[in-house]
Structure 1
Amino acid sequence: MRFNKLDLNQLVVLDALLSTRSVGKAAERLFLSQPATSCALSRLREYFEDELLMAVGKKQVLTPLATELVKPVRNVLLQIQTITRARPSFDPATSTRRFTIESSDYVISVFLSEVVRRAAKLAPLMQFDLRAISPQTPEHLDSGEAELLIAPEFATVPGHPSEPLFEDSFSCLVSSESPLANHDLTIDRYFDAAHVAVEWGGGRRITFDARLISTGKRVRRQDVIAPNFTLVPELLLGTARIATLPTRLAQQMAKRFGLRILECPLDLPRFAENLQWQKYQEGDPAIVWLRKLLRETAAQMSPMLQPAVKASKSVGCGRGKPRPASKSMSG
């Protein structure tokens, strides 16, 4: 089928060429031979009167026109995909859809683990590809490679709809052998201690608590920086170090690893995780069903418990009335 003399089948080839910037990789993605893909590129060059891909040294780069085509071509294909998936009804019990969701390992631990457990009963044939947030996340959501993103507001992608999922606060975690384990955690003790910090997301993003503390007069001594939240317990065990984590995760880790959870002496606001989806997939029945499952699971999350050892309020903790949830968050 042709539109304005363009064979619309070539849009799929064009999209693969623009995203991979390689005839060979585009051929692999499309299950075509390299000669067939090269012929398709020649026809596209003739139609657009532009090279589209140019060799610069050993690399292929996009021409200015090709760069302008990347987003509109992908958007057209996403809209076509939505049309082809339109059905009068959606049956999760028989669906074999595979969903790609990007989030931090914190969200996977405290939230998505329960989502996939529920989905195993409601939609036993459904598959989930859970990926860590990375610098490529905006590109993945824009292109439809990732259907859903769960992230703090500062990590959401402009131009796509979103909604808040759940809130959390901050608590501190220490080894049961730590001198801090059985004492009130004061501001001074907190800043005098060695800390395990987390810089996540592949791009070394700092957590929300680190962002807030960096604006103050006192600085934490970060002896260890972990690439994700999951490694924190191993880096605390048998040491006097302390970590500041989302409370739900801290409670989970304290129970699993025999660590002690303490009330954070800093006046840090609560925060919220946001659910975001691709704008062209908003009406996809499967996406609608999954979003509903995510909202229901979030609404039924267990309440956060108070730490067994509370922070001292006698040494300038600055804690007063509970503060509202922040628009940013930890991860």
Structure 2
Amino acid sequence: MSTKLNRIDLNLLVYLDALLRERNVTQAAHQLNLSQPAMSNGLRRLRDLFDDPLLVRTSDGMTPTERALELEPQVREVLMNIEQAVQPRSAFAPEQAQRVFRIMASDYAESTLLPAVLGKLRVQAPGLTLDIMTPSDVSFLDVERGKVDMVINRFDSMPQSFHQIHLWNDSFSCLLSPENPVLADFTLENYLQAKHIWVSKTGMGVGVGVDPDDVQRLGWVDSALARLGKKR
């Protein structure tokens, strides 16, 4: 063990985690059942340890520095590993559990998966409650900060520190009127030339808050077409 590590009070990492979650010294102290002077002293020691202000006061409150944002996921992972190491190896008893699981799920994942899950929870874990949030309300940072327990969605990429599991495969379908002339010769080119309906949960679409050249924001279909050099 390095001599520098021997000099570190690991409680300071707990303080830093709370400070970065709350962005407020008083609220961080309340979360850890500490006095405000004790938390302020902890912040001073953290600043000395990392040679960085970490949190600076602005008109919007306490704002983390670039160094603090770099440390945030690392500190959280260290604390999670320590917590797992010291926890007794007792089996999870769903029938006795009393807690709220915060889950981010798309409307598709919610309608596809959750009805069956809720049916099982009522029988096997009646004390559990699910708090479902939409993707527009949640970011990866919320997951790293522990504000969200689980994410059910399709992602092109995600942070390497996240644990992930593949749930199922699915495909897209194209809905159109039986009287649509495209049906007579349903080719890719004819599909691209047809008129399309834009579905938006946010109320924004092409020409209304969304740049038609911003393929990533247009959606998965347009991203796939772009990889083929196509555009609808």
Which amino acid is 1:131 matched to? M
Q: After TM superposition, where is structure 1 displaced by more than 6 Å over at least 4 residues in a row?
A: none
The secondary structure found in structure 2 opposite 1:130 is: strand
1:212 aligns with 2:224: yes
Partner residue, 2:139: 137
Partner of residue 108 from structure 1, selected from 107, 110, 127: 110
Q: In structure 2, how many angstroms separate the alpha carbons of the residues matched to 1:86 and 1:137?
A: 31
Q: Against the structure 1 CA distance between its residues 145 and 81, is the aligned structure 2 distance closer, same or farther, given a 3 Å change threshold?
A: farther
Which amino acid is 1:157 matched to? P
Which amino acid is 1:159 matched to? S
The secondary structure found in structure 1 opposite 2:168 is: strand
Once the two structures are superposed, the pairs formed by residues 123-162 of structure 1 within 5 Å of their partners are 123-134=125-136, 137-162=139-164
1:168 aligns with 2:159: no
Alignment TM-score, normalising by the size of structure 2: 0.70
Bigger helix share: 2
Q: In structure 1, how many angstroms separate the alpha carbons of the residues matched to 2:60 and 2:130?
A: 37
Deviation at 1:67, TM superposition (A): 4.0
Q: In structure 2, how many angstroms separate the alpha carbons of the residues matched to 1:96 and 1:170?
A: 38
Partner residue, 1:315: none
Q: Against the structure 1 CA distance between its residues 86 and 199, is the aligned structure 2 distance closer, same or farther, given a 3 Å change threshold?
A: farther
Partner residue, 1:291: none
Q: In structure 1, how many angstroms separate the alpha carbons of the residues matched to 2:141 and 2:55?
A: 20
Partner residue, 1:88: 90
Partner of residue 16 from structure 1, selected from 9, 15, 18: 18
Q: In structure 2, how many angstroms separate the alpha carbons of the residues matched to 1:95 and 1:72?
A: 29
Q: Against the structure 1 CA distance between its residues 62 and 183, is the aligned structure 2 distance closer, same or farther, given a 3 Å change threshold?
A: closer
Q: How many residues align?
A: 211
Unaligned runs of at least 5 residues, structure 2: 205-209, 211-215
Deviation at 1:185, TM superposition (A): 5.3
Deviation at 1:154, TM superposition (A): 0.3
Deviation at 1:91, TM superposition (A): 1.8
Partner residue, 1:69: 71
Once the two structures are superposed, the pairs formed by residues 1-331 of structure 1 within 5 Å of their partners are 4-56=6-58, 59-63=61-65, 65-134=67-136, 137-173=139-175, 180-181=177-178, 186=183, 187=186, 188=190, 191-198=193-200, 205-214=217-226, 215=228, 217-219=230-232
Q: In structure 2, how many angstroms separate the alpha carbons of the residues matched to 1:208 and 1:94?
A: 41
Alignment TM-score, normalising by the size of structure 1: 0.52
The secondary structure found in structure 2 opposite 1:116 is: helix
Per-residue deviation, residues 22-58 of structure 1 (Å, max 9, x unmatched): 3244235445454442233234334545433233565
Deviation at 1:124, TM superposition (A): 1.0
Deviation at 1:134, TM superposition (A): 4.3
Deviation at 1:164, TM superposition (A): 1.9
Q: In structure 2, how many angstroms separate the alpha carbons of the residues matched to 1:106 and 1:171?
A: 14
Q: Is the 8 A contact 1:191 1:218 kept in 2?
A: no
Deviation at 1:108, TM superposition (A): 0.6
Q: Against the structure 1 CA distance between its residues 52 and 189, is the aligned structure 2 distance closer, same or farther, given a 3 Å change threshold?
A: closer
Q: Is the 8 A contact 2:105 2:151 kept in 1?
A: yes
Q: Against the structure 1 CA distance between its residues 44 and 157, is the aligned structure 2 distance closer, same or farther, given a 3 Å change threshold?
A: closer
